[in-house]
Structure 1
Amino acid sequence: MSLPIAQQWYDTRRLDDRIWLITEPHVHPIFSANMHLVLGRDADLLIDSGMGIAPLRPVVDGLRDDPGKPLICLSSHTHVDHIGAAHEFEQRLVHPAEAEELANPSPYSLTSADIPAALVRLFLDAGYPPLWEYLINAVPVPDYDIAAYKIPAAPATGTVEDGDIIDLGDWQATVLHLPGHAPGQIGLWHPESGTLFGADAIYDGPLIVEDQETYANSLKRLRGLPIKRVHGGHDPTFDQTRCLEIIADYLTRWGRA
């Protein structure tokens, strides 16, 4: 199967005067994760780094006011769609429970037939559409080798835990440990604006559950925050009303309301 060449691999959209959304529109919805760039006075912050199919750093630097400023890459967790380009950034932060995977990523294939059947079933049961033949429907350059896809090692230069502060000088946010989707899944809470970067702990689409009891506790924790908007790891931004609806829906499904 020959795939078309994408005119551009990444889409970018400004969400407000500080935050950019970066997406990979040619990646299957299950693996097309949101990346958020937060601009700060003293440093900028990139939350997650996608699949790493095409170079990300030039796109990120093109959105920054000053590409010479320090840039922090924060991996919310280490599933393939969130760490693919982490190696392109000098400062790499992750929760300690995810650090080993960031340093030694598990092999992954862009060919759907190579993905374990149990994982494919998990995606379907969660409510995602069937996988395409490949996890992408285009290639970034004419000579792109799908079979050679590999996530490079990107050892963390630091770790963050619950309660730690990410400080960009004129913007500070608190790290929230929100396990259930992944052991070291984290979110980022900016109380001044009521903004939650929920990553894969909560987004407006089918949630993938690793540990239901732990996940329920994470959602209950989020239920207690005065959230005004959520930038999730997938799908569009949503407000407090929708956030509470999603939490109530899953807690009810799991019998843990």
Structure 2
Amino acid sequence: MTLTQARCWYELEERDDGLIRITEPHADKLVRANLWWLRGTDRDVVVDAGLGVASLRRHIPRMFERDPLVVLTHAHLDHVGGAHEFSERAAHKAAEETLAKGVPASLHGPELYKELGMEPDGQDLPGLLIDALPHTGYDPRTYRVDPLTVHRTLQDGDVIDLGGRALTVLHLPGHTPGCIALLEERTGALFTGDVIYNGHLIDDLPESDPPAYRRSLALLADLDISTAHPGHGRSFDGHRLRELAHSYLSTPYA
């Protein structure tokens, strides 16, 4: 398959209250994650960093005007690939070791599954996980995620102060040991990463822990959430979050 250069690699969607959703429309849905850019009075936070196929600094230079902190919700390629471009990175302590080694990464579906230790289970995996090139001459075979240093180690209950707004760290393991969500208690907005989104929740990775996942979702179901901003797909309200959590909790696991 011959790929052409994308006109725009990133898509930005302005939201209310100083929030921008950033997506990579040319990435396959398997690895098409959200970046959430939240602006405070004193500083900005970017929640997750995408695949890193195209430079965030080059394509969205205004994002870096106030030296934002990037918070990584967990250590998977579609959430940390562009993190090396930020001068300060934060993640849960349980994700530090994986990030320091360099997370498993490939733009080829079968190879990525092998890197992650997953079985396709009859799925027809896409050969290539992008449908355009970020720039002329880009070779998808060279894609990797370099080892990352975490500058700020997060734990459950930590508060990230942006000036005029604050985010509380919730450690919610299950999908991976280092999964976190960020709660803005003032508005009830929750940035969920891959803890919960409007789709099939993945709990069968080699690093996944279904019992821990159940405890994490039971905790979420009891919180007063107004809006969930997930790692994949569109935002949804607290009622839908509770529906999704209860649906998972009502399903027996092996």
Q: Check whether TM > 0.5.
A: yes
Q: Any gaps of 5 or more consecutive residues in structure 1?
A: 125-129
The equivalent residue for 1:112 is: 109
Tell me, in whole angstroms, the C-alpha distance in 1 between the residues paired with 2:29 and 2:104. 20
Describe the shift of the 1:164–1:60 C-alpha distance in structure 2 as closer, same or farther (beyond 3 A): farther
Post-superposition shift, 1:123? 9.8
Note if 1:73 corresponds to 2:67.
no
The partner residue of 2:214 within 213, 216, 219 is: 216
> When the two structures are superposed, what TM-score results if normalisation uses the length of structure 1?
0.91
The equivalent residue for 2:165 is: 171
Native 8 Å contact 2:9 2:54 kept in 1: yes
Native 8 Å contact 1:200 1:233 kept in 2: yes
Post-superposition shift, 1:122? 6.6
Alignment of 1:221-236 (within 5 A): 221-236=219-234
The partner residue of 2:179 within 185, 188, 191 is: 185
Native 8 Å contact 1:123 1:208 kept in 2: no
Tell me, in whole angstroms, the C-alpha distance in 1 between the residues paired with 2:183 and 2:113. 34
The equivalent residue for 2:39 is: 39
The partner residue of 1:92 within 89, 93, 96 is: 89
The equivalent residue for 2:252 is: 254
Give the 3-state SS of the residue equivalent to 2:137 in structure 1: coil
The partner residue of 2:143 within 117, 139, 149 is: 149
Describe the shift of the 1:87–1:239 C-alpha distance in structure 2 as closer, same or farther (beyond 3 A): same
Native 8 Å contact 1:212 1:254 kept in 2: no
The equivalent residue for 1:127 is: none
Post-superposition shift, 1:141? 1.0
The equivalent residue for 1:61 is: 61
Describe the shift of the 1:81–1:187 C-alpha distance in structure 2 as closer, same or farther (beyond 3 A): same
Q: Which amino acid aligns with 1:177?
A: H
Q: Which amino acid aligns with 1:194?
A: G
Q: Which amino acid aligns with 2:107?
A: L
Q: Which amino acid aligns with 2:182?
A: L
Tell me, in whole angstroms, the C-alpha distance in 2 between the residues paired with 1:169 and 1:87. 25
Native 8 Å contact 2:94 2:178 kept in 1: yes
Describe the shift of the 1:123–1:178 C-alpha distance in structure 2 as closer, same or farther (beyond 3 A): farther
Tell me, in whole angstroms, the C-alpha distance in 1 between the residues paired with 2:165 and 2:119. 39
Query: CA deviation digits over 1:109-131, x for unaligned, max 9?
Result: 2122323455252795xxxxx43
Note if 1:15 corresponds to 2:12.
no
Q: Which amino acid aligns with 2:21?
A: L
Tell me, in whole angstroms, the C-alpha distance in 2 between the residues paired with 1:132 and 1:68. 37
Give the 3-state SS of the residue equivalent to 2:118 in structure 1: helix
Post-superposition shift, 1:102? 1.7
Q: Which amino acid aligns with 1:32?
A: R
Give the 3-state SS of the residue equivalent to 2:164 in structure 1: coil
Post-superposition shift, 1:58? 3.6
Native 8 Å contact 1:37 1:60 kept in 2: no
Give the 3-state SS of the residue equivalent to 1:36 in structure 2: strand
Q: What's the Cα RMSD here?
A: 1.8
Post-superposition shift, 1:106? 3.3
Identical positions, percent: 38
Give the 3-state SS of the residue equivalent to 2:29 in structure 1: coil
Give the 3-state SS of the residue equivalent to 2:239 in structure 1: helix
Tell me, in whole angstroms, the C-alpha distance in 2 between the residues paired with 1:101 and 1:122. 25
Native 8 Å contact 1:28 1:131 kept in 2: no
Post-superposition shift, 1:251? 0.6
Query: CA deviation digits over 1:49-79, x for unaligned, max 9?
Result: 01000001244432x5xx5423101000111
Post-superposition shift, 1:132? 1.7
Tell me, in whole angstroms, the C-alpha distance in 2 between the residues paired with 1:134 and 1:5. 15
Give the 3-state SS of the residue equivalent to 1:115 in structure 2: helix
> When the two structures are superposed, what TM-score results if normalisation uses the length of structure 2?
0.92
Tell me, in whole angstroms, the C-alpha distance in 1 between the residues paired with 2:87 and 2:102. 17
The partner residue of 2:200 within 180, 189, 206 is: 206
Post-superposition shift, 1:107? 4.1
